[in-house]
Structure 1
Amino acid sequence: MDICSEYAFNGEWFFENAREHIERDDFPWIPIGTIGGCIPGWHMRLKRNPFNDNKLILFIYTSHEKPRLRCFLHSEYLRNDGAWECLTKRAVFIRHDKGGGYGIDFNIDEMDDENNGYLINGGIKIEYGFQIEAILGKNDIWTFNFHDPLFDCEYDENMISFVKNSEEDEMKLFHCHKQLLTFHSTYFDSDSNENQMIELTGSVGFHDFLQISHGVRFLETSKLFYLDALKFARKYKLFNVVHLVDEALRSMDLTVSEAIKYGLNHRLADLLNEMETSEELKEELKKVNLDKISGEMMKKCVKHFFQLVVQNKHL
């Protein structure tokens, strides 16, 4: 079980009355649970190989709708001599409409073999480890799976977990590799040799922020998508993400109040120059908390307000 325990989802099972189940091909489904954050109903079973009726295979499956997945699957079965036969399948691609991943296979003819047999007290003992590495998102863009713990994180202690507790919603967890975050930001403790846990005060846009910070480039056209990610990039001091988001926002329509709220200094100057009346600027400033505006932004707004007052008097 040492190898299997390195995977986010792992376990063992003893399938009783194996000979009868092999004949009828009706091994029971064993529930695994929700994987990938929101993909429920995963189960595991043994079944005959659809391409070779003389072999059994370990099959992991969900009937629920899901995106295409890139997974790692490790599986083992116990032989009657006490040794384990194992197989690790890396980069198993599971289609959204078929929902299954195949692990190790068993030759049915060897079931009772003295040396290679695997029937133990009339049953078959298996162990498994399952990990979703990537999820195919919109526009056929592969994204990281931050919903499940990292591979072998208990041993490597290489993980930062963000947790959002809410009385209204279920607890949300996001897990990512701490090496990238500590490299790009001084916010995180780079000297820590342990897995870290950080509490989130809000989670809207956080998942997209993590994707962008890990190199995923979206084709989004919604400014709210980037503005939500931007607030986390600023909070956690990932200025490379701030730069990427700022570049994406250049082609999008923003208001003065949005530029102030999200700290877009350069964009604020452009938006102020586009304003035609002091009343227009006054209405935008009513939408923000003036006590929280940075000194630099306040100076720009005040200066431009009086410029507009003078300009409007001469019209």
Structure 2
Amino acid sequence: MDICSEYAFNGEWFFENAREHIERDDFPWIPIGTIGGIPGWHMRLKRNPFNDNKLILFIYTSHEKPRLRCFLHSEYLRNDGAWECLTKRAVFIRHDKGGGYGIDFNIDEMDDENNGYLINGGIKIEYGFQIEAILGKNDIWTFNFHDPLFDCEYDENMISFVKNSEEDEMKLFHCHKQLLTFHSTYFDSDSNENQMIELTGSVGFHDFLQISHGVRFLETSKLFYLDALKFARKYKLFNVVHLVDEALRSMDLTVSEAIKYGLNHRLADLLNEMETSEELKEELKKVNLDKISGEMMKKCVKHFFQLVVQNKHL
């Protein structure tokens, strides 16, 4: 179980009455839970659809899912006390059908003195399963931040973000320390332990993590980027702030949105597009003036009086 325990999802199971189940090919489905944010994962033994004389370990969910890239480690106990094991890296699970195939068993060797694996009428297996990447919209591969990192208990290389409230169920996001601590002083780069950080809100946080790890989305919604931007500012990832700012340049924004999200350069452009002081006044009513930065306040006041003078001469 040492190797299996390195995976985010792992366990062991003893399949009883193996002979009968092999004959009928009806081993029970063993529930595993939610993996990669996708519910309903199960595991079972079944006959290999391409070789009826072999059994395989099969992991599967019937829920709709994107294409996944996974690691699957599986072992079975032989009757001599040794474990037979197989690690499959980069197992691709299709969204429409199929699952992860693990170690296989030769049915003819079930009772073999040396290689047999029938113990007290059953088969004992161990497994470890990890989703590494998820194919998102526009065929863009994204990271799996829903599950703990591979072997994180030993490496202690993980930052976990948790959102818990009475209204919502607990949400957890997990990522590697290296990139966040390199780009931001917000995170403790000297820590030798896994870190836990509480989230006050989670809308847009998953997308923020993807962007901060190099994923480039083809989104056209400004709310997508504005939600990510608030986390980039909070956690001082200024490289992400720059990337989001660039993405927003081609999108329509209001003065109040530019102020709310701290877009100084964009604010200057938007102020220059305003034609009347009344128009600017209405936009400023939408924001908390006490929280506006000094630089933004100066820009707004200066432009307001410029518009007042300009409108008087019309």
Q: Which residue of 2 aligns with 1:104?
A: 103
Q: Partner of 1:273 in structure 2?
A: 272
Structure 1 CA distance for aligned equivalents of residues 195 and 72 of structure 2: 26
TM-score, normalised to structure 1, is 0.99
CA deviation vs aligned residue, 1:247-273 (integer Å, no higher than 9, x gap): 000101110000000000000001000
Separation in structure 1 between the aligned mates of residue 19 and residue 62 of structure 2, nearest angstrom: 27
**Contact 1:8–1:129 at 8 Å: present in 2 too?**
yes
**Cα displacement (A) at 1:36:** 1.0
Task: Provide, for residues 37-63 of structure 1, a one-character-per-residue CA deviation record: whole Å limited to 9, x for no partner.
Answer: 2x1111100000000000000000111
Please list the CA deviations of residues 237-290 of structure 1 after superposition, one character each: whole Å capped at 9, or x if unmatched: 001100100000010111000000000000000100000000000000000000
- After superposition, what is the alpha-carbon deviation per residue over 1:286-313, rounded to whole angstroms, capped at 9, x for unaligned? 0000000000000000000000000000
Query: Aligned-pair distance for 1:64?
Result: 1.0
Residue pair 1:135, 1:144 contacting (<8 A) in 2 also: yes
Quote the offset at 1:67 in angstroms.
0.9
Deviation of 1:235 (Å): 0.3
Q: Which residue of 2 aligns with 1:289?
A: 288
In the alignment, is the contact (CA less than 8 A) between 1:4 and 1:10 conserved in 2?
Answer: yes
**What residue number does 2:67 align with?**
68
Give a deviation string over 1:90-131, Cα, whole Å, max 9, x none: 111111111411000000111111111111111100000001
CA distance in 1, matches of 2:85, 2:20: 24
- In structure 1, C-alpha distance between the alignment counterparts of 2:251 and 2:29, rounded to whole Å: 50
The residue aligned with 2:114 is 115
SS in structure 2 of the partner of residue 33 of structure 1: strand
SS of 1:57's equivalent in the other structure is: strand
Cα separation, 2, equivalents of 1:41 and 1:224 = 31
Q: 1:142 deviation in Å?
A: 0.7
Partner of 1:145: 144
1:171-218 C-alpha deviation (Å, 9 max, x unpaired): 000000011100110000000000000000000100000000000000
* Secondary structure in 1 matching 2:120: coil
Distance 2:160 2:293 in 1: 31
Distance 1:127 1:74 in 2: 8
Structure 1 contact 278–305 (Cα < 8 Å) conserved: yes
User: 5 Å matches for 1:1-315?
Assistant: 1-37=1-37, 39-315=38-314
Cα distance in 1 for partners of 2:302, 2:67 equals 53
**How many angstroms does 1:20 deviate by?**
1.2
Which SS does the other structure have where 2:172 is aligned? strand
- Distance of 1:218 and 1:204 partners within structure 2: 17
Percent identity of paired positions between Structure 1 and Structure 2 = 100
Pairs aligned (count): 314
**Could you list the runs of 5+ residues in structure 1 that have no partner in the other structure?**
none
Q: CA deviation at 1:166?
A: 1.6
Q: Which runs of 5+ in 2 are unaligned?
A: none
Between the aligned partners of 1:66 and 1:104, the Cα distance in structure 2 is 23
The CA distance in 2 between the partners of 1:314 and 1:24, in whole Å, is: 91
Task: Report the Cα distance in structure 2 between the residues aligned to 1:166 and 1:146, rounded to whole angstroms.
Answer: 20
Residues in 2 aligned to 1:17 and 1:55: alpha-carbon distance in whole angstroms: 17
- In the alignment, the residues of structure 1 paired with residue 205 and residue 41 of structure 2 have an alpha-carbon distance, to the nearest angstrom, of 26
Q: CA deviation at 1:167?
A: 1.2
Contact (CA 8 Å) 1:143, 1:216: kept in 2 or not?
A: yes
CA distance in 2, matches of 1:250, 1:142: 25
Please tell me whether the aligned partners of residues 63 and 99 of structure 1 are also in contact (alpha carbons under 8 angstroms).
no
Q: CA deviation at 1:76?
A: 0.2
TM-score by length of 2: 0.99
- The alpha-carbon deviation at position 71 of structure 1 amounts to 0.7
